[in-house]
Chain A
Amino acid sequence: KNEVEQSPQNLTAQEGEFITINCSYSVGISALHWLQQHPGGGIVSLFMLSSGKKKHGRLIATINIQEKHSSLHITASHPRDSAVYICAVTGNQFYFGTGTSLTVIP
């Protein structure tokens, strides 16, 4: 049983498309993180949120605490957005999703 489920597992998009990655969780949490892992392996924390919505450039993250669901949106996608996006939640413990592999084609 996975405490954090992400969908889709893999996603291929054309440059410029609007992209949505979903994350559902089954545990009580204090915060949810969206992480980006580049092909070289480095991990960057994109967002940490516990309610509502956050925006940074072309990235938008939303969370619905009642529905235990979060989405990461990328507007006007670009090949440099190609990466694995990982959802993680913190509560009593840390739980990670298995990641969504995004490829943006020029």
Chain B
Amino acid sequence: DAGVIQSPRHEVTEMGQEVTLRCKPISGHNSLFWYRQTMMRGLELLIYFNNNVPIDDSGMPEDRFSAKMPNASFSTLKIQPSEPRDSAVYFCASKQGASEKLFFGSGTQLSVL
């Protein structure tokens, strides 16, 4: 299995632009998580899905952030409009079942200028 696949690996954009981050979970995994990591705040959970349904989005910082999971093999995290303070590494992770380990993607390094 190729593992959790995220794209792009790096994204540099200007303030105000829309940014879309993509994630393909491991086949058969039914839970998907989006995290953000910054030097100041460390790792934070943004949102997670169970069976494609958003379960907890309390970590989504504000209305500029939205996440979708249209099917079991694909999820997006969108920021519109982007701001410099959104600069971070965004990780996607997936797992199968309630008692299994998380598998992380390689992350997307986002820089908003």
Least distance between A92 CB and chain B CB atoms (Å): 9
In the bound complex, residues from chain B placing their C-beta under 8 Å from that of A52 are none
CB–CB B104/A42 < 8 A: yes
Least CB distance, B35 to chain A, in whole angstroms? 8
Question: Which A positions have Cβ atoms within 8 angstroms of B?
Answer: 30-31, 33, 35, 41-45, 47-48, 50, 86, 88, 93-94, 96-99
Q: Does B107 belong to the interface (CB within 8 Å)?
A: yes
Nearest CB on A from B62, distance (A):
18
Contacts of B63-113 to chain A: CB distance below 8 A:
89, 91, 93, 98-104, 106-107, 109
| Minimal beta-carbon separation of A41 from chain B (angstroms) | 6
With an 8 A cutoff between CB atoms, is B45 at the interface? yes
- Which residues in B have some Cβ–Cβ distance to A below 8 Å? 33, 42-45, 48, 56, 58-59, 89, 91, 93, 98-104, 106-107, 109
Q: Is B107 a contact partner of A42 (Cβ separation < 8 A)?
A: yes
Among B43, B48, B98, B100, point to the contact of A88 (Cβ < 8 A).
B43
Q: Give the residue of A30, A41, A45, A98 whose beta carbon is less than 8 angstroms from that of B89.
A: A41
Q: Which of B44, B56, B58 contacts A96 (CB 8 A)?
A: B44
